[in-house]
Amino acid sequence: MTNSFSEFENAKLFFCIGTNMTEAHPVASYFVKRAVNKGAKLIVADPRRHALADKADIYAQIKVGSDVAFLNGLMHVLITENLYDKKFVEENTEEFENLKAAVMQYPVDKASKISGVSEDVMREIARTMASIKPGMLCYTLGITEHTCGKNNVMSTANLQMLLGNMGVECGGVNPLRGQNNVQGACDMGALPNVYPGYQKVDDPAMKEKFMKAWGVSELSQKPGLMIPDMMAGLPTKKVKAFYIFGENLANTEPNITHVEHELASAEFLVCNDIFPTETTRFAHVIFPAAAWSEDDGTFTSSERRVNRVRKVKQAPGLAKPNWWIFKEIARRMGHDWASSSAREIWDNELSVLAPAYGGIKYYRIEQDGLQWPCPNEEHPGTSFLHRDGKFSRGKGLFKGIQWTPPAEVEDEEYPFVLSTGRRLFHYHSRTQTGRAGMDMILPEETADISPSDAAKLGIKNNEYVIVSSRRGTVKVKARVTGQIPPGLVWMAFHFRDGNANWLTNNVFDPETKTAEYKACAVKLEKVV
């Protein structure tokens, strides 16, 4: 997030696209709803009319995968009606003409046809956003989990720069991150192209710096593989050994049948986990790990805040902290690492090597955490980025973006669009929530369908249906709900039975390699 949760309550306008906040980030939604009750405007754009839409001033039921066209259409109104922030654009951005050239190809009637949102509603949204400044743009995986995910993200940035909503309190582009520490894992350099603190592996100066810090004579300058390419390398034997730490890929990656084939062909698979999972079935070695509350450490939240996590119990049996397991493997491969606690790793290594964390030390985050960038120990942390429109690269770069449809769209044989996500009472593949009593509230998967499709197919609420795609078939109960528009089926991936990922399409954004979990074609049949 460029901005912070504490700004939500005082915001004047929210534009929430592809985020079902009330279920996926409930506490963030409290602050949005409170702001709305105090007079803030709320615009919600989502294929599902989920609970946040009930609080919205304007709700746009956009078609799955139409985001770029929809956002370009809004920008078309802003530019043609002269409603954009010319001063901000002139002073703080570049390549406006590039953006304009692309946006001009999406007049409202065309954008409306692609997105399914009426021309009037599109104009109303654009004019509302132009008249109330600043506004906060929030998104979640509805934006990123598409083959055009990167383009979707860039379009949200285009819109906020065009409105001059960057670099100010209560503005910005704010992706709410799905996992407790997905921000942190990125920051730590668990990415194939960067060292901790986003320092590039192909930069010789960075290579030197880390060689010295880690006491090694060589480091690879070649960016590594992303997850889908790693897994594709298993059957071809390009990847011989695969090490999975705490991820249940067999349930959470798209197209389970294909994923399991890949995992089964691994020559050597190692897992660290706290439970046996569908993924550890394929392992050759499983290391038992300490869980949350069994080790001291830090998580970094969506708002870039480094928060402490504390130990209150011993890990069961022989289970050990994950950092210890990696350190021990390193030692057995001839490398002795000095740090022997999470605190030593943070204080003596990470915060020294990553400039944005230079000022974050354990002693400073005993209570509220600190938000990076925090370059020195006197620095109070940074609540919002790009202050006064000063972007990290200098000027904000507009990029003209063309809309592309999802890789697989509905047709005669598979006439429904399947979109997927998370529900309030469970988390991912339920390894945790399934062992914390949440099944009492939500005991099985459902396929959420519209009342009109249900009536057409003679399906009643709670009746079993068969949902199938080109990749698989599941039998689940139908949940008939007005949240879903005709033509859409919506499912989650919490349960092994009826998991949406038996159906989802293993196609990826060409650059981010994010899978298109949000769109594929399925058919729906009543069980007779």
Partner 1 sequence: MSKTLIINGEEYAFDGSKTVLQIARENGIYIPSLCYHPRLGPLSKCRVCVVEVDGMRGLQTSCSLFPTDGMRVQTDTARVIEARKMVVNMLLANGNHNCMICEMNGDCELQDAAYHLGIEFPAFLVEQKEEKDDSSAFILRDPGKCIECGRCIEGCNRMVVNEVLDFGFRGGHTQVICDTGIPMGESSCVQCGECVQLCPVGALIEKKGLGKARRWETEKVRTTCPYCGVGCQLELHVKDEQIVRVTGVEGARPNQGHLCVKGRYGYDFIYSKDRLTTPLIREGKDFREASWDEALDLVANKFKEIIKKDGPDAIAGVSCARSINEDSYNMQKLFRAVIGTNNIDHCART
Position among 308, 364, 475, 477 found at the interface with partner 1 (CB under 8 A): 308
Q: Which of residues 269-298 bind partner 1 (CB under 8 A)?
A: 270, 272-276, 283-289, 291-295, 297-298
Kindly report the three-state secondary structure assignment for every residue of 427-447: CCCCCCHHHCCHHHCCCCCEE
| CA-CA-CA-CA torsion sign (31, 34, 38, 43) | positive
Q: Give the C-alpha separation, 202 to 221, whole Å.
A: 5
Q: Which of residues 64-103 bind partner 1 (CB under 8 A)?
A: none
Binding pattern to partner 1, positions 46-65, x when CB under 8 A?
---------x----------
Name the 3-class secondary structure at 251. helix
How many chain residues are in contact with partner 1, going by CB under 8 A?
145
Binding pattern to partner 1, positions 338-377, x when CB under 8 A?
----x--xx--xx----------------xxx--------
264 near partner 1, rule: CB under 8 A: no
Q: Which residues contact 347 (CB under 8 A, 6 or more apart)?
A: 361, 362
**CB-nearer residue toward partner 1: 167 or 175:** 175
Q: Give the C-alpha separation, 32 to 38, whole Å.
A: 10
Binding pattern to partner 1, positions 233-252, x when CB under 8 A?
x----xxxxxxxxxx-x--x
- Amino acid found at 50: H
Q: Which of residues 19-48 bind partner 1 (CB under 8 A)?
A: 24-28, 30, 33-34, 37
DSSP letter assigned to residue 173: E
302 near partner 1, rule: CB under 8 A: yes
Tokens at residue 228, please? 């889908």
Query: Following DSSP, what letter does each residue of 261-289 receive, concatenated?
Result: HHHHT-SEEEEEESS--TTGGG-SEEEEB
323 near partner 1, rule: CB under 8 A: yes
What distances in angstroms separate CA 167 from CA 149, 177, 263, 387, one per listed residue? 23, 20, 44, 4
**CB-nearer residue toward partner 1: 23 or 453:** 23
Position among 56, 515, 519, 524 found at the interface with partner 1 (CB under 8 A): 515
**CB-nearer residue toward partner 1: 55 or 63:** 55
Q: Which residues contact 380 (CB under 8 A, 6 or more apart)?
A: 370, 374
255 near partner 1, rule: CB under 8 A: no
> Which of 453, 454, 304 lies closest to 385 in space, CA to CA?
304
464 near partner 1, rule: CB under 8 A: no
Q: CB of 480: closest distance to partner 1 in angstroms? A: 18
Position among 39, 204, 394, 437 found at the interface with partner 1 (CB under 8 A): 437
514 near partner 1, rule: CB under 8 A: yes
Q: Which of residues 152-171 bind partner 1 (CB under 8 A)?
A: none
Position among 86, 87, 268, 456 found at the interface with partner 1 (CB under 8 A): 268
CB 446 within 8 A of CB 517: no
Q: Give the C-alpha separation, 419 to 274, whole Å.
A: 30
For residue 99, the surrounding DSSP H or E stretch is: helix 96-103
**CB-nearer residue toward partner 1: 100 or 146:** 146
CB 382 within 8 A of CB 304: yes
Q: CB of 389: closest distance to partner 1 in angstroms? A: 25
**CB-nearer residue toward partner 1: 442 or 459:** 442
DSSP letter assigned to residue 394: B
Q: Which of residues 374-433 bind partner 1 (CB under 8 A)?
A: 424-425, 427, 431-433
Tokens at residue 413, please? 């044989």
The region of 71-79, 308-316, 396-404, 405-413 touching partner 1 under the rule CB under 8 A is: 308-316
Position among 204, 318, 393, 458 found at the interface with partner 1 (CB under 8 A): 318
Cα atoms in the 13 Å half-sphere on the side-chain side of 279:
24
**CB-nearer residue toward partner 1: 95 or 247:** 247
Binding pattern to partner 1, positions 176-215, x when CB under 8 A?
xxxxxxxxxxxxxxxxxx-xx----x--------x---x-
